[in-house]
Amino acid sequence: MKLIVAVDEKWGIGKNGDLLLSIPDDMMYYRTTTRGKVVVMGYTTLLSLPKSKPAPGRLNLVLADIEGLRIPGAVVCGSMEQLLRLIGCFHPDDVFDVGGGSMYRQLLPYCSDAHITKMRFDGEADTFIPNLDELDGWRVADESELKDHEGLKYSFVIYHNDSPKALETARELSTNMSAYFRKKEPIEIKLIEDEGYQAELKELAHAYFCPLEKGMSADEVAEYLDGDNGAFEEYLRKNHYIAAIGDIEALSEKYGLNDADARSIMVDKANLDVIDGI
């Protein structure tokens, strides 16, 4: 696992539940580093995200001590044990701890690398992470040149931990699993004037573009971890957490789709309304 965080000169990371500062270049660095990966966060950090919603294009695992909580777009874990078990199902390089303070502190021993944006100012933070310059086992592996944002100096530093703690439950199971949750490429589908077809297509299109639409609990995921990937995918598809191109093809076949009575559209998020409006 890796972590990514922006710190001030005292290793402060937040104040009053929010970031100390937001540097556009740093936000871009965060987005490109975590895109398509598994991001792990505490509930407070989730609430601090835009509209308090999980970031799209990533598999979001949220640790929250709230019974029965469901977060559309995320898997909710009720305990650290549950979270660690789930993290162990992914390739360590695919998992990023994205905060906040309590998550960085608890998961630090499991991290092999830390992407630290070092901001040269004192943000008078109320939340901190350990100073990696003073922590045994951690060393600077890479550092960018000093950058400037409206007078604020900062740099991107990568720290390496020579002996990260292994996750007990780590298994080969599935780097693929995260792919199930990622947004897939637009596909071409056909529309025909058939109510049954249109209803089914609408449901599928929705699932296709809204992976984890309903949110899942770690228990639900865990139930399928012992099966093979196929069983898990089958579960996700059956419950409309995801849809696959094959679903659309099967639908076309079922309704005897042909070019004469069909028109084709390219479905992407921008015209999902077209589907919703059928």
Binding site for ligand NAP (CB under 6 A): 5-6, 13-14, 17-19, 41-45, 48, 63-65, 79-80, 98-103, 127
Three-state DSSP class for 204? helix
Shortest Å distance, C-beta 72 to ligand NAP: 18
How far apart (Å, rounded) are the C-alpha atoms in residues 135 and 212?
A: 38
Q: Which is nearer to ligand NAP, 42 or 232 (CB)?
A: 42
Q: Which is nearer to ligand NAP, 107 or 236 (CB)?
A: 107
For 131, the token pair is 């100073």
Shortest Å distance, C-beta 95 to ligand NAP: 15
Which is it for the CA torsion 70, 71, 73, 75, positive or negative? negative
Q: Which is nearer to ligand NAP, 76 or 191 (CB)?
A: 76
Shortest Å distance, C-beta 142 to ligand NAP: 18
Q: Which is nearer to ligand NAP, 7 or 216 (CB)?
A: 7
How far apart (Å, rounded) are the C-alpha atoms in residues 82 and 75?
A: 11
How far apart (Å, rounded) are the C-alpha atoms in residues 55 and 206?
A: 18
Shortest Å distance, C-beta 154 to ligand NAP: 12
From the list 15, 21, 7, the residue with the least C-alpha distance to 119 is 7
Three-state DSSP class for 50? helix
Contact in structure between 208 and 63 (CB atoms under 8 Å): no
Q: Which is nearer to ligand NAP, 65 or 261 (CB)?
A: 65
Shortest Å distance, C-beta 222 to ligand NAP: 16
